[in-house]
């Protein structure tokens, strides 16, 4: 029950993170079918990633990706699945930044959108999660 | 005392044999001081020992009360060099027949010490080295390339070296390893190794060895991105030979747990660094296990469908002269199925998730690089989406990279899919193939029931002129014609770019002619319309099977037939246009009659950027005419909404079909 509740909170948090950027440059809230599809895929995946954030195996990197920072925290039988979910998440994140830039009519904004998202994602990370500072050093939040 | 043994030790020996020679030398040197003095302590110092296989510098041996300490300032073996090597023997016994170092500790500067015992027999010329409970960490530090790996566990090993024979027995217990990224790792590993090599006295100048290796993996788990394996008594027995030019595996048999038995042999050319020949024969492959543990992890990396399989299979191949020469694949009473990646993780047993399946599969595929062969593939039954497939046979003629299939019939419900003149070839980079065929009539009531669609009458049949695949694009040459609703639907210019990729793109032109509106509207509970309709969808483009753009037009067929439209159909058409659409009649007038006459019906949609620009049979003030009245009583339905979001239009259509529409009538 509490697990379900926690998952729900995580999903809501992810949804909030994905939509809470109205003040940044350009319209980060812009919506297209492609963006909606990416957001929904990422929200669906969050439940799989959350335990890895909590254990410290996966952290939020300063380049707007998620990274496997300590593989030894993932038992061997789950390591392949962990790699896959991280790769899928990063592919969707890269696509999201690209799509938002494109939907704003400014593909060249991609890098800036990525860095804005990276900062906000790290800001909104739960206590206990691992995040990376600007010089790629990991720290527990 | 300084003894310079350079001349004595510089015999041109190769490899480990020199180690035996070194032991002999040590013994010889040890015997010298004994004759000189019978003191309780003595020391021996050598400046240098040079050998083709190794070199020593600053050798100092101190013996005292049964204990001995050997210190090497520098030890070089092949290209590796260690400084400050120490060997201390807790008990050193020596006599005229040999030397025995027990409770020894080997210590390299900066590394943990390695427990070791040595014994040398002068009579047999053999040197035995025993390593007991050595930590894998310290052993790994001695091996180049393993320094970056995290290692753990214990190793017991015995080495026996004679001039004619080398034997190694090693046992690994509770061992672990991991690379920095954790993509290659093992935990709780247990394994045993028994290897022997003996000199073959062939009389030739080149040194040749015959060797055998027995290996058993008895415990633990392994992850080698992306494959995860558990120990289940996997074992291997290899026999071969080794000389300066080549490594030859004469026979190897492996038992890969419950997965398969694999036998192989091969020849590796050491000078050219090429695999000259490899033959492999895998029998009794447990397909379920093979797919789950070996194949699926690779598919999961690309979010490809989930596969499952059962039954047994076999694979054997021969590789020689830089290419695959023959390949034999066999399947016995196998079952295969593929389901959607996303849904399969949640509901593995959900029938809807299964995209494709075959059961009772038997296959004999004997491929030869330079010969014509015949492959047999048969299945007792199968399914494609929700459609059941009957028994099928695919007799494929193979000749190198050219494949041909004259004709195959695949029963689908009460009809048949016929494939004809299939030909495929590989041009060195890509596969190209094409085929023709037909769909023999399938009863629509049966088909629609299976597909979970509203029941439709009639039959579905199609002619497939020529479908080709080249450069990642599936294209249809000619027209795919489907007989449906008493008329026909023709698809031309059909292309699917990257059909198995993440975002397949479909391009097509669609023509519909003389579709019976009565059957159509009855099927979709749209209200009754009597008559016929033609349609054209130009420039249809789907990305990931969702419409991106098209120019579609539906218009009542020309000709003389009865044209009536029911009150409910009028309401539904109106509601498709949204709140702005309306029937240009009074509600009372609409309610007064059940059906109305019409002269023309038409609706068009030009889709771009998610928005449908709508039109009708002709323009009307502020809108467009969807239904133009004719006969008695007649009425016009006018649409006023020129732009509708595609998603919105779809949901309206679904609402209409579900009977939940609330049309606005003025």
Q: A71 vs B228: CB contact, 8 Å cut-off?
A: no
State percent of chain B over pLDDT 70: 86
Determine the residue among A7, A35, A67, A71 to mutate to test chain B binding: the one whose Cβ has the most chain B Cβ atoms within 10 Å: A71
Write phi, then psi, for A85 (nearest 5 degrees). -70, -35
Domains: count for chain A: 1
What are the extents of the domains in chain B?
1-113, 505-657
**Ranges B309-313, B382-386, B655-659: which has the least confidence:** B655-659
**Ranges B59-73, B239-253, B598-612: which has the least confidence:** B59-73
CA–CA gap between residue B207 and residue B187 (Å, rounded)? 39
- Residue A52: domain span: 2-140
Q: B301 vs A32: CB contact, 8 Å cut-off?
A: no
pLDDT at A18: 43
Q: pLDDT higher for B306 or B366?
A: B366
* pLDDT tens, residue by residue, B81-130: 888 889 999 988 878 888 889 999 988 877 778 889 989 888 888 889 99
Q: Which of B223, B303, B546 sits opposite A79 (nearest CB)?
A: B223
Q: Which of B187, B223, B546 sits opposite A80 (nearest CB)?
A: B223
Q: pLDDT higher for B501 or B365?
A: B365
* pLDDT tens, residue by residue, B449-472: 998 877 777 788 888 888 898 888
> B9-28 burial string, b = 16+ CB within 10 Å, else e?
beeebeebbbbbbbbbbbbe
pLDDT at B345: 41
Residues of chain A with pLDDT under 50: 1-2, 4-5, 8, 11-24
Interface residues from chain B to A (CB-CB < 8 Å): 178, 181-183, 185-187, 221-223, 225-228, 297, 300-301, 303, 546, 610, 647
CA distance B606 to chain A (A): 18
Interface residues from chain A to B (CB-CB < 8 Å): 32-33, 68, 70-72, 74, 76-77, 79-81, 83-84, 87-88
The position carrying tokens 């804005």 is: A116
pLDDT at B549: 92
Q: How confident is the model at residue B590 (pLDDT cuts 50, 70, 90)?
A: low
Pick the residue from chain B with its C-alpha nearest to A76: B223
> For B298, how many CA atoms within 13 A lie in the half-sphere containing its CB?
4
pLDDT at B663: 39
**What is the pLDDT averaged over residues B530-534?**
94
Q: pLDDT higher for B532 or B121?
A: B532
Sign of CA dihedral B258, B259, B264, B267: negative
> A78-102 burial string, b = 16+ CB within 10 Å, else e?
ebbbbbbbbbbbbebbebbbbbbbb
Q: Which of A32, A71, A88 sits opposite B181 (nearest CB)?
A: A71
CA–CA gap between residue B309 and residue B334 (Å, rounded)? 7
B-chain CB neighbours of A90 within 8 Å are: none
CA distance B388 to chain A (A): 31
pLDDT at B205: 58
CA distance A82 to chain B (A): 10
Q: B610 vs A77: CB contact, 8 Å cut-off?
A: no
CA–CA gap between residue B597 and residue B563 (Å, rounded)? 6
CA distance B59 to chain A (A): 43
CA distance A102 to chain B (A): 13
pLDDT at B21: 52
* Angle at B484 (CA atoms; ends B483, B490), nearest 5 degrees: 55
Enter the DSSP assignment of B292.
I
Q: B187 vs A88: CB contact, 8 Å cut-off?
A: no
Classify burial at B295, counting beta carbons within 10 Å of its beta carbon; exposed 0-12, middle 13-18, buried 19 or more: middle
Q: Is B610 helix (H, G, I), strand (E, B) or coil?
A: coil
**Ranges A114-118, B273-277, B548-552, B644-648: which has the least confidence:** B644-648
**Of the candidates A71, A88, A81, the residue with the CA atom closest to the CA atom of residue B228:** A81
Residues B141/B147/B150/B153 CA torsion (nearest 10 deg): -20
B-chain CB neighbours of A33 within 8 Å are: 546, 610, 647
Q: A80 vs B227: CB contact, 8 Å cut-off?
A: yes
* pLDDT tens, residue by residue, B264-318: 999 999 999 999 999 999 999 999 999 999 999 988 887 778 899 999 999 999 9
* C-alpha of B19 from chain center: 47
Q: Where are the beta strands (DSSP E) in B303-430?
A: 306-320, 323-339, 354-368, 372-379, 381-384, 387-389, 392-399, 402-412, 415-426
Q: How many CB pairs under 8 A join A and B?
A: 49
A-chain CB neighbours of B303 within 8 Å are: 84, 88
* pLDDT tens, residue by residue, B153-187: 999 999 998 878 899 999 999 999 999 888 999 99
CA distance A2 to chain B (A): 20
Directed axis angle between helix A110-123 and helix A76-103, to 10°?
130
**Ranges B9-13, B407-411, B645-649, B651-655: which has the least confidence:** B9-13
Q: A79 vs B222: CB contact, 8 Å cut-off?
A: no
Q: Where are the beta strands (DSSP E) in chain A?
A: 58-60, 66-68, 130-132, 138-140
Sign of CA dihedral B515, B516, B522, B523: negative
Q: Which of B182, B221, B610 sits opposite A33 (nearest CB)?
A: B610
């Amino acid at each position: 029950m509490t697990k379900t509740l926690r998952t729900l909170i995580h999903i809501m948090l992810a949804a909030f993170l994905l939509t809470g950027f109205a003040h940044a440059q350009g319209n980060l809230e812009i919506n297209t079918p492609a963006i909606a599809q990416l957001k929904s895929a990422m929200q669906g995946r969050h439940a799989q990633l959350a335990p890895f954030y909590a254990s410290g195996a996966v952290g939020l990197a300063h380049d707007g990706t998620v990274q496997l920072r300590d593989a030894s925290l993932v038992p061997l039988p789950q390591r392949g699945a962990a790699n896959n979910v991280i790769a899928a998440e990063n592919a969707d994140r890269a696509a999201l930044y690209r799509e938002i830039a494109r939907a704003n009519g400014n593909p060249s904004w991609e890098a800036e959108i990525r860095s804005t998202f990276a900062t906000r994602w790290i800001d909104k990370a739960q206590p206990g999660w691992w995040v990376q500072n600007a010089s790629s050093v990991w720290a527990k939040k | 005392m300084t003894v310079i043994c350079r001349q004595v030790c510089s015999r041109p020996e190769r490899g480990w044999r020199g180690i035996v020679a070194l032991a002999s030398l040590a013994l010889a040197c040890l015997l010298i001081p004994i004759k000189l003095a019978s003191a309780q302590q003595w020391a021996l110092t050598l400046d240098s020992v040079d050998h083709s296989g190794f070199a020593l510098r600053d050798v100092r041996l101190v013996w005292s009360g049964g204990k001995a300490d050997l210190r090497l300032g520098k030890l070089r073996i092949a290209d590796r060099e260690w400084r400050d090597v120490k060997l201390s023997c807790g008990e050193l016994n020596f006599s005229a027949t040999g030397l025995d170092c027990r409770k020894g500790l080997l210590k390299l500067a900066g590394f943990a010490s390695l427990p070791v015992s040595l014994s040398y027999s002068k009579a047999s010329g053999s040197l035995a080295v025993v390593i007991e409970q050595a930590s894998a960490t310290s052993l790994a530090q001695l091996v180049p390339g393993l320094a970056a790996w995290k290692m753990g566990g214990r190793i017991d090993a015995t080495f026996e070296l004679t001039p004619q024979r080398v034997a190694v027995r090693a046992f690994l217990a509770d061992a672990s390893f991991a690379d920095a990224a954790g993509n290659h790792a093992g935990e709780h590993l247990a394994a045993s190794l028994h290897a022997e090599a003996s000199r073959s006295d062939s009389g030739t100048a080149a040194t040749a060895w015959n060797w055998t290796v027995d290996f058993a993996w008895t415990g633990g788990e392994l992850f080698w991105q992306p494959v995860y394996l558990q120990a289940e008594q996997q074992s291997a027995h290899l026999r071969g030979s080794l000389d300066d030019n080549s490594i030859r595996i004469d026979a190897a048999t492996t038992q890969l747990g419950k997965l398969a038995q694999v036998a192989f042999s091969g020849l590796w050319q050491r000078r050219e660094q090429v695999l000259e020949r490899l033959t492999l024969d895998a029998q009794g492959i447990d397909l379920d296990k093979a797919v789950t543990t070996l194949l699926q992890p690779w598919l999961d990396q690309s979010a490809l469908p989930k596969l499952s399989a059962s039954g047994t299979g076999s694979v054997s191949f021969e590789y020689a002269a830089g290419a695959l020469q023959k390949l034999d694949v066999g399947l016995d009473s196998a079952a295969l199925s593929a389901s959607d990646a996303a849904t399969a993780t949640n509901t593995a047993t959900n029938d809807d998730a299964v995209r494709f399946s075959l059961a009772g599969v038997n296959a004999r595929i004997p491929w030869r690089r330079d010969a014509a062969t015949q492959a047999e593939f048969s299945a007792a039954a199968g399914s494609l989406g929700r459609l059941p497939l009957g028994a099928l046979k695919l007799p494929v003629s193979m000749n190198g990279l050219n494949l041909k299939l004259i004709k195959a019939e695949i029963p689908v419900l009460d009809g048949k899919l016929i494939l004809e003149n299939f030909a495929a070839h590989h041009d060195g980079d890509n596969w190209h193939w094409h085929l023709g065929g037909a769909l023999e009539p399938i009863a629509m009531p049966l088909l629609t029931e299976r597909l979970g669609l509203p029941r439709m009458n009639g039959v579905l049949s199609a002619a497939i002129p020529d479908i080709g695949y080249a450069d990642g694009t599936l294209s249809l040459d000619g027209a795919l014609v489907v007989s449906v609703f008493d008329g026909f639907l023709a698809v031309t210019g059909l292309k699917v770019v990257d059909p198995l990729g993440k975002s397949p793109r479909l391009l097509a032109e669609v023509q519909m002619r003389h579709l019976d509106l009565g059957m159509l509207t009855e099927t979709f509970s749209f209200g009754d319309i009597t008559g016929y309709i033609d349609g054209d969808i130009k420039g249809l483009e789907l990305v990931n099977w969702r419409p991106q753009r098209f120019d579609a037009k539906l218009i009542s067929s020309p000709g003389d037939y009865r044209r009536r439209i029911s009150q409910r159909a009028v309401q539904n058409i109106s509601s498709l246009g949204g709140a702005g659409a309306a029937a240009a009649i009074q509600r009372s007038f609409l309610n007064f009659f059940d059906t109305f006459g019409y002269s023309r019906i038409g609706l068009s949609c030009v889709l771009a950027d998610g928005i449908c620009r709508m039109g009708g049979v002709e323009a009307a003030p502020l809108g467009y005419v969807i239904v133009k009245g004719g006969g008695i009583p007649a009425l016009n339905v006018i649409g006023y909404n020129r732009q509708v979001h595609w998603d919105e239009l779809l949901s309206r259509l679904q609402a209409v079909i579900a009977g939940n529409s609330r049309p606005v009538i003025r």
